[in-house]
Amino acid sequence: MNKFLKSIGVFLVIIFSISSVSAATLTERLKDGHKLRLGFGTAVPWAYAGDNGEALGFVNMIALTVLEEMGITEHETKVFEWSGLIPGINANRSDMVTGGMYILKSRCENMNFSDPIGVFGDAMLVPKGNPKGINNYADVIRTGAKLVTGAGFNTVEAAKKYGVPDSQMMLVEGEVGILAAMKAGRADVAVQTFFGAKEHEAKTGGKFEVTDPKLMPKETLNVVGIGFRKTDVEFRDNFNKALAKVMANPATMLKRAGEYGYDKAQLPPPSMSTEWACSTK
């Protein structure tokens, strides 16, 4: 009987310890010596892993610059499918989402965002010469074209908002899936971020081209933030304080992020705040 009670006691201690670790905030975990885990998908040039698993892409460069301002110089990388980024951070498999997520009302319900790190637009990727004349969602509907985009991308909501029927939409896993669908001829047009589309244009040697983002609906302009768990408010607030310092003197950040195409044109205006995006996007 005593052995049984002892076993139960040990079991409860283990369960309590696991629960305590999972319940700890990011600030507490870092104080205990844990490395911060950056979570992102493969979305060139936004965020992706190098040959040795290192964090690359302009969103990661901005995040790392801010973390260094906070005195945090060590981290680990965790690569997810795009649709797994928010579930991953909420399951405690990462600590920050640096994948380049637009701040949207639906995402704000499941994750906290930092202040914006940039403002961006979407574009269409079409075959060279744009034979169907597709520049926006209205053109997709008009031509009956098959539109491909990434599962979990903001473009899924946008396409539906502007009337693209499910029968004309194809959802795939991330940027890799988008390019594969276009190259195989399973889709006539892709919609993604302007940077993502430009990367695919470059990769295919001119087989595809990118449409002018200004021909897309103006409402598709979005701001990007770094994602945090709802329980990590203290860390998010401290991150925002450091981010404000970096944005006030962005030379170092622009140099690092500029290697991936980010420049001062992407710096977010004060009017496009996280609160604004969470309530209107």
pLDDT at residue 263, as a whole number: 87
What pLDDT does 40 receive?
97
> Residues 137, 81: one domain?
no
Residue 232 pLDDT greater than 60, yes or no? yes
Does residue 98 sit in the same domain as residue 71? yes
Residue 84 lies in a domain: yes
Contacts 24+ apart (CB under 8 A), 108-113: 108/274, 108/277, 108/278, 110/86, 111/86, 111/227, 111/228, 111/229, 111/230, 112/227, 112/228, 112/229, 112/230, 112/232, 112/233, 112/236, 113/225, 113/226, 113/227, 113/228, 113/274, 113/277, 113/278
Mean pLDDT, the chain, rounded, equals 91
Q: Is residue 2 situated within a structural domain?
A: no
In a domain, 10, yes or no: no
Confidence of residue 250 (pLDDT cuts 50, 70, 90): very high
The answer to whether residue 58 scores a pLDDT higher than 90 is: yes
Residues 182 and 230 in one domain: no
Pair 178, 243 in one domain: no
Mean per-residue pLDDT for 232-249?
Answer: 98
Give pLDDT, residue 22. 54
Residue pLDDT, tens place only, 103-143: 999 999 999 999 999 999 899 999 999 999 999 999 999 99
Q: Is residue 9 included in any domain, yes or no?
A: no
- Whether 230 and 207 share a structural domain: no
134 and 148 belong to one structural domain:
yes
Task: Name the band, by pLDDT with cuts 50, 70 and 90, for residue 14.
Answer: very low
Same domain, 166 and 248: no
Provide the pLDDT for residue 165: 98
Do the domain assignments include residue 127? yes
Residues 30-39 have pLDDT tens digits of 999 999 999 9
Both 165 and 186 in a single domain? yes
Is the pLDDT score of 270 beyond 60?
Answer: yes
Q: Is the pLDDT of residue 5 over 70?
A: no
Residue 160 sits in a domain whose CATH number is 3.40.190.10
- Span 139-160, mean pLDDT? 96
Mean pLDDT within 198-221: 90
One domain, residues 152 and 78:
no
Tell me the residue range of the domain where 268 lies.
25-119+224-272
CA distance 132 to 143: 7
Instruction: Please indicate, yes or no, whether residues 114 and 238 belong to a single structural domain of this protein.
Output: yes
Shared-domain flag, residues 34 and 49: yes
* Predicted pLDDT of residue 207: 97
For residues 58 and 46, membership in a common domain is answered with yes
- Rounded to whole angstroms, the Cα distance separating 4 from 92 reads 33
CA distance 245 to 249: 6
Q: How many domains does the chain have?
A: 2
Q: Give this prediction's pTM.
A: 0.77
In the structure, what pLDDT confidence band is assigned to residue 13 with cuts at 50, 70 and 90?
very low
136: left (phi over 0), alpha (psi -120 to 50) or beta: beta
Decide if 281 is inside a domain. no
